[in-house]
A and B are shown apart, each in its own frame.
Chain A
Amino acid sequence: MNINATLLAQAIMFALFVWFCMKYVWPPIIAALEARKKLIADGLAAADRGKHELELAAKRASETLVDAKQKAADIIAQAEKRSTQLIEEAKNEAKDEGDRMIAAAKAEIEQESHRAREALRGDVAALVVAGAGKVLRREVNPQAHADLLEAIKNEL
């Protein structure tokens, strides 16, 4: 409990400890803390920036999506228009073709009936002649009455 030179020894030790602390302990740790603080602040700022960019990208994406939808709708509308047009054209063509075929068929039928009528006419004439011949076998001379027969044939 006596005050003695220990006092001086303690004061000197204290001074040395403080000096050491000031030179080798405090600055590097505070520097590391500051550096880490900066690192974290930078990281947070980068995260903020990233978030902002993400928002922008999302906005851009939705815009693109709307655009694409619009375009797709346009294309579909165009395609529909085009298809109705094509169908219309095909219909018209088919109708024309049909008309043409009908006309051709009609013409052929006409021709055939005409030909059949011609043949019939000949056959009837021959038949009439044959019938008349049978009736008039004796009285009628085909050569003598040829002009008459011809006149009948033409009337048929």
Chain B
Amino acid sequence: MSADTQTSTEYIKHHLQNLTWGQLPEGYTRADGEVLETSTWTLAHSAQEAKDMGFWALNVDTVGVSLVLGALFLFLFSRAAKAASNGVPSGLVNFVEWIIEFIDSSVRGSFTARNALVAPLALTIFVWIFLMNLMDLVPIDWIPLLASSLGLHFFKAVPTTDPNATFGMSISVFLLVVYYSIKMKGLGGFVGELTLQPFGKFGLPANLFLEGVNLIAKPVSLALRLFGNMYAGEMIFILIALMGAAWAGASAGNAVLFGSQVLLSLGWGIFHILIVTLQAFIFMTLTIVYMDMAHQEHH
């Protein structure tokens, strides 16, 4: 708990707010009552401020954590790539090769066309999402506490609980799917796929509606599935953390609550390891499948 005066609602809301950096307009009344004389680029001090910053604002925590994790991933893997040889692999190289072989077999299993982009894409998605999800297993209050000791109001440590991160990836994947659909089948083929099936050319509006929904559902479901799972997991961690937060002096009831928090967060944490890996895997596999569909004449 970061403050004694926080209510449960405030605690939950605090944990679900990103550290947002953006522009507040002239004459804006800030959360602490200060009125801005000129428009200012600053960190939001409340959820309302973050909202009022509009689209051109940046969630510094999401970007920062995902950048650090992505850099860590690329650093380790490129080091392994430099050290890789046909001899006996060292520990790190062996581990990296294990992951790469796993990804490679997944791609070979689901992707039938030839495209040098798909396997690295799948690898990046899997490892990056896995690392970002893994941040969920860091005890819920550690990183926000550390941030508040550095003077930051909010800090959401798990980038995949921010829909910006999941949609950022799923929309990129979606654009790739559209790009390769048009490249492989031609613009006519792509449009034809959207309009001429399943009912033939006389059912064109119905076709367009069905296939359009089908197409749009891909990025939306991809992003929301990951976001929803991680958000819900985070929420349960927050709720479990509230049990011990109700501590009000040594009594039997408080001791039971505290014990329950320890046991529950342990249990949920262990279960969450599964979700963390599974969600990364699902995102990767669906990306491969969508890319495969983009390369196929008929689906």
Contact = CB atoms under 8 A, between A and B. Distances in A.
B126 to A, nearest CB: 11
A151 interface: no
Contacts of A29: 77, 80-81, 84, 96-97, 100
Given A4-B53, A4-B54, A26 B62 contact: no
B55 A39 contact: no
A74 to B, nearest CB: 56
A30 B20 CA distance: 40
Contacts of A14: 124, 128, 168-169, 172
Nearest to A16: B70
Contacts of B163: 1, 3
Contacts of A68: none
Interface in B28-83: 50-51, 53-59, 62-63, 66-67, 70, 73-74, 77-78, 80-82
A4 B120 contact: no
B251 to A, nearest CB: 37
B104 interface: yes
Contacts of A32: 84-86, 97
A1 B231 CA distance: 11
Contacts of A30: 100, 104, 119
Interface string A24-39: 1110111111011011
B238 interface: no
B67 A13 contact: yes
B106 interface: no
Nearest to B74: A20
Given A7-B171, A26-B100, A36-B86, A17 B74 contact: yes
B70 A13 contact: yes
Contact residue range for chain B? 35 or more
B116 to A, nearest CB: 7
Given A10-B169, A18-B120, A35-B86, 11 more contacts: A2-B18, A3-B163, A4-B55, A6-B162, A10-B63, A10-B165, A20-B78, A21-B74, A24-B81, A26-B123, A29-B84
29 contacts: A1-B17, A2-B18, A4-B53, A4-B57, A4-B164, A6-B59, A6-B63, A10-B63, A10-B66, A11-B168, A11-B169, A13-B67, A14-B128, A14-B168, A17-B70, A17-B74, A21-B123, A22-B116, A22-B117, A24-B74, A24-B78, A24-B81, A25-B74, A28-B82, A29-B77, A29-B97, A32-B85, A35-B86, A36-B87
Interface of B: 16-18, 20, 22, 50-51, 53-59, 62-63, 66-67, 70, 73-74, 77-78, 80-82, 84-87, 96-97, 100-101, 104, 116-117, 119-121, 123-124, 128, 159, 162-165, 167-169, 171-172
